[in-house]
């Protein structure tokens, strides 16, 4: 009898600890985050207005769900140690704000850090993990981005596992977005800890640059893209590589924004927009809300693209999709336009990871140009095209 009780008790303890929420984030998470555009200048009015915009401007319809507040929402802890939002910026409190976001059919996300203070110097979760997770559950939080500032004396796997267990014990399903910048190779250990993990340092709205801040640096789109190449086999449904949030609409050219968005879709990356959704241009919205391109990102197979060939700064990437389909993206890293010519029957496209092969020699695929939203013939004919500088051509290939 004692033994049976022990086994039952252990089963209960395993279900309360030692796992993440299953069946969550099975396709890459889609939403918005305040950091890129607003940094610490966040308040409840802004968040409500962003939720209003997302719900009505086509973003929600295209699949965006999460409205996430990044750093600097925090006030102080109360006498019992419970975290409070900044009373000037969030006078109505987080529960009311989460209720508002939910009333728009959207989900609500928040940010903390595994250390004592966030990167912005606000109170963070170290030593308060279970208390914070309970608070978030009471507020109605659906998404937690968990940062890594001030954690020099912590081990990442332990620190992130503690917060995972705290969230799970609190009982409300929360997408757990790990943000330790790839410093501890989370792709090797975090599959059962988080739903996504940052793979690099912070992005900046620049296509091809490395910005040196002395103690840290920021990378442009191409620098981040190149760091993803060895990581594709570690991602899959519920556990994604995160090459950082989108900079679409934050200052790059339309071509660069299109290339950035396309490659993040090819990488099955989380699509977290970072621009001002209340005032974006038509071109920006057309990029962020292109459903055919988003369908590549959200494909149920959840396999990242790989670089099939690269020459003179022109890279051809392939992403296996469900039902024997493929996405192909031709990325021009150069400033000047380049001509391409693809004779399909001579292309041997094999993915050892997903065990897929296009078999262009025996199979024919229809071609759909995903940015022109137009059919473009099939793989029976040589494809000749021009790719503008810092831009892409993106196709969907469906077997005929």
Binding residue for ligand GLA, selected from 25, 44, 142, 147, defined by CB under 6 A: 147
Residue 326 burial (CB < 10 Å; 0-12/13-18/19+)? buried
**Of the residues 44, 202, 256, 315, which one makes contact with ligand GLA according to CB under 6 A:** 202
Coil, strand or helix: which one is 359?
coil
Stretch that binds ligand GLA, among 56-64, 115-123, 258-266, 365-373 (CB under 6 A): 115-123
Binding mask 122-141 for ligand GLA (x = CB under 6 A): --------------------
Binding mask 217-256 for ligand GLA (x = CB under 6 A): ----------------------------------------
**Shortest CB 179 distance to ligand GLA, Å:** 5
Residues 230, 270, 255, CA angle at the centre, nearest 5°? 85
Distance CA 368, CA 370 (A): 6
Q: Residue 28's closest CA among 396, 293, 380, 280?
A: 293
C-alpha 168: how far from chain center: 21
Binding region for ligand GLA (CB under 6 A) out of 113-121, 229-237, 367-375, 383-391:
113-121
CA distance 399 to 397: 7
Q: Which is nearer to ligand GLA, 31 or 120 (CB)?
A: 120
* CB 384 within 8 Å of CB 340: yes
Known catalytic residue: 52? no
Range in contact with ligand GLA (rule: CB under 6 A) among 15-23, 89-97, 116-124, 281-289: 116-124
Euclidean distance between CA atoms 164 and 18, whole angstroms: 8
Q: Does 120 bind ligand GLA (CB under 6 A)?
A: yes
Closest to ligand GLA by CB, 120 or 123: 120
| Phi, psi of 97, rounded to the nearest 5 degrees | -70, -45
Assign 3-class secondary structure to 148-194. CCCCCCCCHHHHHHHHHHHHHHHCCCCEEEECCCCCCCHHHCCCCCC
Structure-token pair, residue 366: 């229809």
Active-site position among 70, 132, 142, 147: 147
Secondary structure class of 58 (helix, strand, coil): coil
> Which residue in the set 25, 44, 71, 304 belongs to the binding site for ligand GLA (CB under 6 A)?
71
* Side-chain-side CA neighbours of residue 171 (13 Å): 3
Could you say which of 31, 32, 34, 35 contacts ligand GLA (CB under 6 A)? Answer: 35
> How many residues at the interface with ligand GLA, by CB under 6 A?
9
Q: Nearest residue to ligand GLA, using CB?
A: 119
Q: Residues 42, 47, 53, 119: which binds ligand GLA (CB under 6 A)?
A: 119
User: Which of these ranges, 118-126, 154-162, 230-238, 323-331, lies near ligand GLA under the rule CB under 6 A?
Assistant: 118-126
| Closest of 57, 198, 195, 173 to residue 107, by C-alpha | 173
Residue list 148-177, contact with ligand GLA (CB under 6 A)? none
- The reply to whether 179 sits near ligand GLA by the rule CB under 6 A is yes
* Separation CA 370–CA 386 (nearest Å): 15
351 binds ligand GLA (CB under 6 A): no
Judge whether 147 counts as a catalytic residue. Answer: yes
CB closer to ligand GLA, 129 vs 147: 147
> Do 333 and 390 form a contact (C-beta atoms < 8 A)?
yes
**What's the closest the beta carbon of residue 195 comes to ligand GLA, in angstroms?**
16
Closer to ligand GLA at the Cβ: 71 or 129?
Answer: 71
Nearest to 167 by CA among 187, 199, 141: 141
Residue 339 and residue 385 in contact, taking contact as beta carbons nearer than 8 Å? yes
Q: Could you tell me the smallest distance in angstroms from the CB atom of residue 156 to ligand GLA? A: 14
Which member of 142, 202, 242, 276 is catalytic?
A: 202
Q: Active-site positions?
A: 147, 202
- In the complex, the residues that contact ligand GLA under the rule CB under 6 A are 35, 70-71, 118-120, 147, 179, 202
């Amino acid at each position: 009898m004692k033994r049976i009780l022990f086994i039952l008790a252990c089963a209960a303890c395993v279900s309360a600890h030692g796992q993440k929420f299953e069946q969550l984030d099975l396709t890459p998470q889609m939403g918005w985050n305040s950091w890129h555009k607003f940094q610490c200048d966040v308040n409840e009015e802004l968040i409500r207005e962003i939720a209003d915009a997302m719900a009505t401007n086509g973003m929600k319809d295209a699949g965006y769900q999460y409205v996430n507040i990044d750093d600097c929402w925090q006030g102080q802890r109360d006498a019992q140690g419970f975290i409070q939002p900044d009373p000037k910026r969030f006078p109505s409190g987080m529960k009311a704000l989460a209720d508002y976001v939910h009333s728009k059919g959207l989900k609500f996300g928040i940010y903390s850090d595994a250390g004592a203070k966030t990167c912005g110097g606000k109170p963070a979760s170290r030593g308060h993990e279970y208390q914070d997770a309970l608070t978030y559950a009471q507020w109605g939080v659906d998404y937690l981005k968990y940062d890594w500032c001030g954690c020099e004396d912590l081990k990442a796997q332990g620190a992130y596992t503690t917060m995972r267990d705290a969230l799970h014990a609190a009982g409300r399903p929360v997408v757990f977005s790990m943000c330790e910048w790839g410093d501890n190779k989370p792709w090797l250990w975090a599959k059962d800890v988080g739903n996504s993990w940052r793979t690099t340092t912070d992005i900046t709205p620049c296509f091809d640059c490395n910005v040196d801040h002395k103690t840290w640096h920021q990378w442009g789109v191409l620098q981040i893209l190149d760091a993803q190449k060895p990581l594709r086999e570690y991602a899959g449904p519920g556990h994604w590589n995160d090459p950082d949030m989108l900079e679409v609409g934050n200052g790059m050219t339309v071509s660069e924004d299109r290339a950035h968005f396309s490659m993040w879709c090819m990488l099955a990356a989380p699509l977290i927009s970072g621009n001002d959704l209340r005032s974006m241009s038509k071109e920006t919205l057309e990029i962020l809300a292109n459903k055919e391109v988003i369908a590549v990102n959200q494909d149920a197979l959840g396999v990242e693209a790989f670089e099939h060939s690269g020459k003179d700064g022109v890279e051809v990437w392939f992403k296996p999709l469900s039902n024997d389909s493929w996405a192909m993206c031709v990325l021009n890293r150069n400033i000047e336009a380049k001509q391409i010519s693809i004779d399909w029957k001579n292309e041997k496209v094999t993915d050892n990871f997903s065990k897929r092969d296009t078999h262009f020699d025996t199979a024919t695929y229809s071609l759909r140009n995903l940015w022109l939203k137009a059919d473009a013939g099939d793989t029976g004919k040589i494809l000749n095209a021009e790719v503008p500088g810092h831009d892409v051509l993106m196709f969907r290939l469906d077997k005929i």
